[in-house]
A = this chain, B = another copy of it.
Amino acid sequence: MAERLTARSARSQEIVEAARTLLEESGPAALTMRALADHLGIKAPSLYKHFPDKQAVEVELIAQMLAESAEAMEAAEAREPGSLPALAEAYRAYALAHPHLYCLATERPLPRASLPAGLEDRAAAPLMRACGGDLDLARATWAFAHGMVILEIHGRFPDDADLDAAWKRGTRALH
């Protein structure tokens, strides 16, 4: 409904790039409007010439994460069509490579209205296909994968837990 139809300006893209660096390298607490402006050599209020608020910058990051993880899943699908373990491995690898971004995009309601149309569906499609269109299985599998990733990112498993084995056990059960 409210999603942008035009690309952002070059400056806006620079801002999003800087925001991403800040987030990925230093975590969510470091992503402040002042730090972001600093990184760009401007003052915080100037950011509001490009984005209405901080959330709008975050939405861009969320969209990036969704698009990139969709790409990762599509690549895995192309490599091993129909393989759930391949998808699971791709999902896990992408999330663990970008933990702060993954959390940002995942630990709050999706700002669906501000996202490019079809992006959410695209991200979900490969898993959907691997589950042969079984919606319930696809959702259960997504929940498993998300749970594994997010619990690992937050260090909730015991230090000595064999997470490879847990992933295998889960994907095998959900084949």
Contacts and interface: CB of A to CB of B under 8 A. Distances in A.
Which of A142, A144, A145, A175 has the largest number of chain B CB atoms within 10 A? A144
A109 B154 contact: yes
B139 A150 contact: no
Interface in A114-170: 134-137, 139-148, 150-151, 154-157, 161-163, 165-170
A59 to B, nearest CB: 15
Contacts of A165: 135-136
B146 A151 contact: yes
Given A146-B150, A147-B147, A169 B155 contact: no
Contacts of A106: 154, 156
Q: How many copies of the shown chain assemble into the complex?
A: 2
A30 interface: no
A136 B174 contact: no
A-B interface, 5 closest residue pairs, ranked by CB to CB distance from nearest: A147-B147, A143-B147, A140-B170, A139-B166, A136-B169
27 contacts: A103-B107, A106-B156, A108-B154, A109-B155, A109-B156, A110-B156, A135-B166, A136-B166, A136-B169, A137-B169, A137-B173, A139-B148, A139-B161, A139-B166, A140-B166, A140-B167, A140-B170, A141-B170, A143-B143, A143-B144, A143-B145, A143-B147, A143-B166, A144-B144, A173-B173, A173-B175, A174-B174
Interface of A: 103, 106-110, 134-137, 139-148, 150-151, 154-157, 161-163, 165-170, 173-175
